[in-house]
Every structure is written in C-alpha cells, then in structure tokens.
Structure 1
C-alpha cells in the first residue's frame, strides 16, 4: 500500500492527539478524520473513509464504546489507546487490541503491523 493506511483518530486531549497523529504520519500513514468527543466521533465513524481507527476509551467523561460499536458495524478494525485497562470496556470489546499510554512509536508500529501485516510489509520506509 504505497500511500499507507488512512486512520480515524479519536482522542480528547489535544496534545496527545497531535502526538499520535505525528506518529501515524512518521510511520507512513495519514490521519483522515479526528474527533475529541463521542458525538463528532460517532458521525465520523459512520461517514469517514478510513482503514482503521485509534480510539481513546474515555472522552471527556464519556466512554467511547458507542463509537466502537459503529466502527465494528462497518467492519473496520480499531484499537484502543488509553491509560485505562480493558475492564472499563463492554465485554465484547475487551478482545480488541489496547495500546497503553504513554504510547511509543514502536508500540504503535507493532500494533498497526499486527492489524495489517501485508499492507505494512509493502509500505516503503
């Protein structure tokens, strides 16, 4: 995949969102939609064109699981990036990959490679 993957990023802390977006770009991918709250994230989850999503679990005091449900209904892969553990998620979402904050670029790269082994193997570096 010469152009890399397209990413939908959901994170309520602006500095963390910018840091993750920078890592995504450094890894050869692109952020095509961003949201910092459940309402906007839900709209993007259903309408944006993306390959996968990175979701913070807690958005300004609200849990992201309604957004995750919408993404899952579209059949898109996603992972959680959070300081929380999986115990805060509904049981059906606990099987999803979780990156623990603070996130390193190597952790993000490994997670993307596990979700898209063929696409990342072809990506130029």
Structure 2
C-alpha cells in the first residue's frame, strides 16, 4: 500500500456543504477531488480521475447523481450518497451507504474509512 493520501471524489451542489465536507476530509488527511456541482463534470471526473472513494449528493440542481454512481460501480470504487431525502436515496444501489443531511464529521469519516476498508478487502 502506498503512502499517498487517499483521494475522495466530492460531488455536491450546495457550496456551503461542499466547503464543510472538503474541510472535514482535508483535515482528516484525505485529498479531495472536486467538489463538482454539475452532473456532466462529476461524470467526467468519475471516469478519468484516480480516486479511492466518493461522496455523492443525490440531487445536483434537479439531476440525479446515479449516472456517476454507475461509473464508479463499474470501476469498483466505493461511494456513499449524501441526501436530504432519507435512507431510500440509494435508488438502484441499495448497498451504498446513505448519509442524511446534516451529518457530522465523525459519521462522514467513519463512512469513508469503512468504504476504503471494503475496497482493500475486495482486492
């Protein structure tokens, strides 16, 4: 395993939430890729960036983020949904964690760590 910081894709359309989440992740030693607030840019980043995990706001200015989740799933990159809609926000991805907004840094970091452990265990 390399010593490089783990890279976390951050997809969030609310600027304040994105800033707070980015700060939480950076302070915990992660490298943040993003934040991306538009579906097209998030999809491109999901396709092309070297990332270890992702947090995905379910609704980006009225567009659902599920196409980004599909790209990540194909690449074997774990992701969590962030939502104001509750636990059913995972849609076609029932195994993905769903964090209800607002959430604290402890829950976010536990979720990220769990996803990274899961990825390492699966290969």
Contact 1:12 1:37 in 2 (8 A): yes
**CA offset digits 1:29-60 (Å, max 9, x no partner):** 11023210111111111001111110000000
Tell me: higher relative CO, structure 1 or 2? Use CA pairs within 8 A at least 6 residues apart: 1
Mapping of residues 65-104 of structure 1, within 5 Å: 65-90=66-91, 92-104=92-104
Aligned to 1:111: 111
C-alpha distance in structure 2 between counterparts of 1:116 and 1:49, whole Å: 14
SS at match of 1:7: strand
CA distance in structure 1 between the partners assigned to 2:102 and 2:7 by the alignment: 22
Residue 40 of structure 1: SS of its match in structure 2?
helix
Gaps of 5+ in 2: none
2:30 aligned with 1:46? no
1:103 positional shift: 1.6
Q: Secondary structure at the match of 1:70?
A: helix
What value does the CA root-mean-square deviation take over the aligned residues? 1.9
TM-score, scaled relative to structure 1: 0.85
Number of equivalences: 118
How does the TM-score come out when normalised to structure 2? 0.86
